[in-house]
Amino acid sequence: MSLNNLTLLTGRTINQGIALEGGKTTKENVRAAAICTFDKSDFKELDCMVGTPVKVTTDYGEVVVYSTITEEGPHPGIIFIPMGPWANQVVNPDTQATGTPTYKGMKAKVEVMKGGKVLDALQLIGQLKEG
């Protein structure tokens, strides 16, 4: 199953900040930042369970992350990935002379990845070096 024409936003989260206290290479960091949060209605349409790996694709790249929903989650048509190595794979690298990539407003597609694997930060960066 897949969803098209979604809008990707990124930002910092409290859980991400707490997880980073233990280090960028911990399982806690993966659980806090290698996630894509959905609106409940979009998640229902995606027809998967919380924690199922999904591939998020934008014009700038793709990444496999865990799917999730929250009570305060994004609105319909919007997905959220916390800033970090996973979000960096799919954000617009154009800094518009600010030195910071464009972290909000990318058009995205999401596909369920049954049997897909979410890489930890070191594996993700290692994959970039190989490519």
Question: What residue spans define the domains of the chain?
Answer: 2-130
Give pLDDT, residue 88: 92
CA-CA distances (angstroms) from residue 8 to 18, 52, 56, 129?
Answer: 23, 18, 9, 25
2-130 belongs to CATH 2.40.40.20: yes
Residue matched to tokens 């009570």: 71
Is residue 10 predicted with pLDDT exceeding 80? yes
Give pLDDT, residue 67: 96
**pLDDT, mean of residues 100-105:** 84
Lowest mean pLDDT of 18-32, 42-56, 94-108, 114-128, name the range.
18-32
Rounded distance, CA 131 to CA 129, Å? 6
Give pLDDT, residue 110: 97
Rounded distance, CA 126 to CA 94, Å? 23
Rounded distance, CA 55 to CA 127, Å? 16
The neighbouring-strand residues paired with 111 are 2, 55
